[in-house]
Chains A and B, each alone.
Chain A
Amino acid sequence: MKCYQCGTCTADCTYANMDESGNFNPRKMILEYFEEGKLSELCWLCAECFKCYRCPRDVKPYAVLAEMRAEFIRMGKAPAYVKAFVETVKNYGELDETVFFLKLMKSGNMMDMSIVISSLKNTIKNRGLSKAVALPKKSPCAKEVSKIFSIIEGKSNVELKAEDKSRSIAAAGVPA
Chain B
Amino acid sequence: MKLAFFPGCSAKSSGMEYAKTSLELMKKLGLEISCPEFNCCGTHIVEEYNKNVWLALNARNLSLAEEIGADIVTTCPACYQNLKKTNMELGDEEVLKEVNDVLASVNREYRGNVNVFHVIEILSKLSKKIAVESELKVVAYYGCQILRPPELGIDDNIENPTVFETFLENAGFEVLNFKAKAECCGGPLLLVDSDAFKKRALTIVLEAKKAGADCITTLCPLCQFSLEVVQDKVPVKPFTSLILENLVSER
A residues at B contact (CB < 8 Å): 14-15, 18, 44-51, 53, 60, 62, 66, 69-70, 73, 79, 81-82, 85-86, 89, 93-98, 104, 109, 111-112, 115, 118-119, 122-123, 126-127, 139-141, 144-145, 147-149, 151-153, 155-156, 158, 160, 166, 169-170, 173-176
Our pick among A47, A66, A176 for the contact of B48 (Cβ within 8 Å) is A66
A50 to B184, CA, bound (A): 9
Cα separation A15 to B190 with both chains bound (whole Å): 13
Partner among B49, B147, B188 whose Cβ is within 8 Å of the Cβ of A82: B49
Distance from A30 Cβ to chain B, minimum over Cβ atoms (Å): 16
Q: Are B196 and A93 in contact (CB under 8 A)?
A: no
Contact status B9-A45, CB under 8 Å = no
Report if B46 contacts A (CB, 8 A). Answer: yes
CB-based contact A73/B192 at 8 Å: no
11 pairs from A and B in contact (CB 8 Å cutoff): A49-B148, A81-B45, A85-B46, A89-B46, A96-B9, A112-B195, A115-B194, A118-B230, A123-B13, A141-B38, A148-B53
Residues from chain A with Cβ under 8 Å of B184 in the complex: 14, 47, 49, 51
Contact between chains at B48 and A94 (CB < 8 Å): no
Q: How far is B149's CA from A53's CA once the two chains are assembled, in angstroms?
A: 6
Q: What's the interface size class on B, roughly?
A: 35 or more
B64, closest chain A residue (CB): A141
A11–chain B nearest beta-carbon distance, Å: 14
Knowing A89-B40, A96-B12, A112-B194, say if A122 contacts B229 (CB, 8 Å).
Answer: yes
The one of B48, B144, B193 that contacts A70, using a Cβ cutoff of 8 Å: B48
Which residues 181-201 in B have Cβ within 8 Å of A in the complex? Answer: 183-184, 186-200
Chain A residues positioned under 8 Å from B191 (CB to CB): 79, 81, 104, 109, 166
Question: Which residues from chain B contact A118 at a C-beta distance below 8 Å?
Answer: 228-230, 232
Is B173 at the interface (CB under 8 A from chain A)? no
Smallest Cβ distance from B83 to chain A, in angstroms? Answer: 15
A33 to chain B, nearest CB (A): 15
- Counting CB contacts under 8 A, is B57 at the interface? yes
**Does B102 make an interface contact (CB < 8 A)?**
yes
Which 3 interchain pairs have the tightest Cβ spacing? A50-B148, A49-B184, A112-B194
- B145 is an interface residue with CB less than 8 A from chain A: yes
How far does the alpha carbon of A112 sit from the alpha carbon of B183 in the complex, in Å? Answer: 23
In-complex Cβ contact of B37 among A104, A109, A139 (8 A): A139
**Which residues in B have their C-beta under 8 angstroms from that of A152?**
50, 52-53, 56, 102
